[in-house]
Amino acid sequence: MPLLIMTGQTLPSPAFYLLLLCSLAILVQYRGHPLHGFYQKYRVTLLCLAAPALAVLFSSMVNAKLAGPDLEAALRFLLGFWILGLAFTRINPAVLGKALCGFMLAALVASLIIIVLALASPLRPDTPAYNAVGYGSLTGLLMALVAFSLPWRLSPWPRAESMTKLVLVGLGLLAVILVQTRTALLAFPIFIVVACLLYMKPHRRVRALVLAVGMAVLLSAVFAVNGTWRQRVVDAYQEAVTCSGEQSTADTSICIRLQLWRASLDMLAQRPVAGMGSKRYFNDYLNQESLPAGVVSPSVAEGWGEPHNDIMLALTSYGVPGGIALLLVFLGPAGLFLRRLAFHHPAQARAAAAMGLSLTLGFLVFGLTETMFRGMRTIGFYSMSLALFMILSDPDRYARSARP
């Protein structure tokens, strides 16, 4: 699945449903096995992941029109975690952990694609599957996941494996620099903090804080010495400052986002309870309401069908319940992952918790300036990864697997 979402748009959804079928086949073999433990342990997470589907159903009832594709997308959050998670509990952690190789392979392929494209043309890489913003953000996330997988031993050669992972992290960082997406950088402070939480010792909190600050400064210096990056940061600041008054509808990168967000807030103010009923209506309301009101420019009204922000899209589509539901999808599991980073848990469980925390908070941050969930395939990847990291981070499973 990680490799498929980084190389094309057609196969990830069929692969997701194939995973669900395989998981159901596993569960049929264990149909006599008690499931109470899973529901007891993850009842809060299941409720959080059910929230988007409930918000879509509520919005559909209020607007008297069922948004079928929206409901399918929302159900992927719940069913992906529910069915895959149940199946993953039937697999030995040492075997299930081999799935991390897929994230390593995806990180390698995505990084090489960006590097080759960047070397072949002076223009911004024309990445497959996603635009440069989404592709660069996912590459940065894969890089972080590989970095946090170091406590896992996936081969008989631990030193060679660790060196390979570090090389992949370096390639991923280079790829993020070359793809020139500012959105990916927003999550790097989170990745740095998670790395310190994972790798620091309990009695070295001050040293970990110094390390986090040092890593942030070093990373800032890496991007600062790059003239293109420095100019993009300056451009972003200038575009944001000038996007007001007569220039409030200027067709610049940052101002376009600000126009879309203003339009989204206006749509939300008019329909706060249940939104417009479906995210596919966003462009219609943009042309019917926002353009005549002068909130957006003609080119923005013509060429943008989403607000470049996952939370804004959920708010405009399904009202305040939709926005809260999407936040729960991120923050609910993140709270459990954070608790599982406690020092007394096994190293492998803590590493998986760090990966899960990076996944949830990474998507939350990426979604502030890009619509990461505009396609169902990314939701399938998110729910699959969430189930994988949630089961791998369960400290009780390692205690059981260690028993004779």
Q: Which residue has the higher pLDDT, 180 or 103?
A: 103
In a domain, 387, yes or no: yes
Residue 288 lies in a domain: no
Contact 87, 27 (CB under 8 A): yes
Give the total number of structural domains in the chain.
1
Angle (CA) 110 116 120, round 5°: 145
Coil/strand/helix, residue 169:
helix
- Residue 181 or residue 273, greater confidence: 273
For residue 297, being part of any structural domain is answered with no
pLDDT value at position 207?
A: 60
Mean pLDDT in residue range 277-291 = 91
Supply the mean pLDDT for the chain.
Answer: 89
Confidence of residue 33 (pLDDT cuts 50, 70, 90): low
Query: What CA–CA distance (Å, rounded) separates 85 from 37?
Result: 12
pLDDT at 126: 87
In 3D, which of 286, 274, 305 has the Cα closest to residue 375? 305
Q: Taking a C-beta distance cutoff of 8 angstroms, is the pair 53, 78 a contact?
A: yes
Closest among 382, 389, 400, 386 to 348, alpha carbons compared: 389
Domain membership of residue 141 (yes or no) is yes
Residue 203 lies in a domain: no
Instruction: Provide the percentage of residues in the chain whose pLDDT is more than 70.
Output: 90
Q: 236: buried, middle or exposed (CB in 10 Å: 19+, 13-18, 0-12)?
A: middle
Whether the Cβ atoms of residue 354 and residue 194 lie closer than 8 Å to each other: yes
Residue 181: its pLDDT value, please? 83
By residue range, what is the domain housing residue 355?
2-24+36-186+311-401
In a domain, 335, yes or no: yes
The number of C-alpha atoms within 13 Å of 271 and in the hemisphere containing its C-beta is 24
Contacts of 278 (CB under 8 A, 6+ apart): 59, 65, 67, 69, 70, 317
> Residue 33 corresponds to which tokens in the numbers above?
């096995």
Say if CB 266 and CB 295 are below 8 A apart. Answer: yes
pLDDT of 401 > 60? The answer is no
Closest CA to 183 of 304, 309, 282: 309
Q: Is the pLDDT of residue 360 over 90?
A: yes
Please indicate, yes or no, if residue 135 is contained in any of the structural domains. yes
The Cα diameter of the chain in Å comes to 73
Residue 67 binned pLDDT confidence (cut-offs 50, 70, 90) = confident
Residues 234-268: tens digit of each pLDDT: 778 788 888 888 788 888 888 999 999 999 999 99
CB burial of 285-295 (b: ≥16 within 10 Å; e: otherwise) equals: bbeebbbeeeb
What one-character-per-residue DSSP string does 347-392 give?
Answer: HHHHHHHHHHHHHHHHHHHHTTTS-TTSSHHHHHHHHHHHHHHHHH
Confidence category of residue 219, pLDDT binned at 50, 70, 90: low
For 251, other C-beta atoms within 10 Å of its C-beta total 13
Q: Is the model's pTM score more than 0.75? A: yes
pLDDT digits (tens, 9 = 90+) for 3-15: 999 999 999 999 9
Res 296 pLDDT > 50: yes
Is residue 232 one of the residues assigned to a domain?
Answer: no
The CA-atom distances, in angstroms, between 109 and each of 5, 121, 177, 276 are: 11, 19, 16, 39
Distances (CA, A) of 142 to 55, 107, 165, 166, 321: 30, 5, 11, 13, 31
